[in-house]
Amino acid sequence: MKIKGLGIPPIDYTPSGMPTADTPAIKVLAGNPEKGAYGKAYDHFKSIGKEEEGKVCCLALENWLKFKQIETLLQTYIVPLQSAPDAKGRIHCSMNLNTETGRISSRKPNL
């Protein structure tokens, strides 16, 4: 089975038999193009004589991963905090102390 449209062999499969498209798989496909270490997507395109397309594909995948990281931060922290301030502009949360590690965390909202 191949990813439709690109012809890249899947890195792994889900339990239902579909190609995996999670973050670890995308990282393997992308590699680290900023440092010149292209991933499996590049290897595929290079094998069919389209080396430049492989580089572009790896850069696109890496940028998509960066976008998803930013989106996660926004949805986890920034957006909830925008609705959290009280009438005086203060944010109140619940603080938790992990007694095993001593780590402090917060919830409602997560800070």
pLDDT in tens, 51-102: 999 999 999 999 999 999 999 988 887 887 787 788 888 887 788 887 677 7
Kindly give, in sequence order, each residue whose CB lies less than 8 Å from that of residue 62, ignoring residues fewer than 6 positions away: 30, 31, 32, 33, 34
Domain count, the chain: 1
In a domain, 78, yes or no: yes
In a domain, 103, yes or no: no
In a domain, 111, yes or no: no
In a domain, 100, yes or no: no
Which one, of 94, 24, 4, 80, lies nearest residue 12 by Cα?
A: 24
Q: What sign results for the dihedral spanned by CA atoms 74, 55, 37, 19?
A: positive
The pTM for the full model equals 0.72
* Better-scored residue on pLDDT, 109 or 54: 54
pLDDT of the residue at 102: 76
In a domain, 3, yes or no: no
Give me the amino acid identity at 61: L
The DSSP output letter for 13 is B
Domain that holds residue 67: 23-86
Hey, is 62 helix, strand or coil?
helix
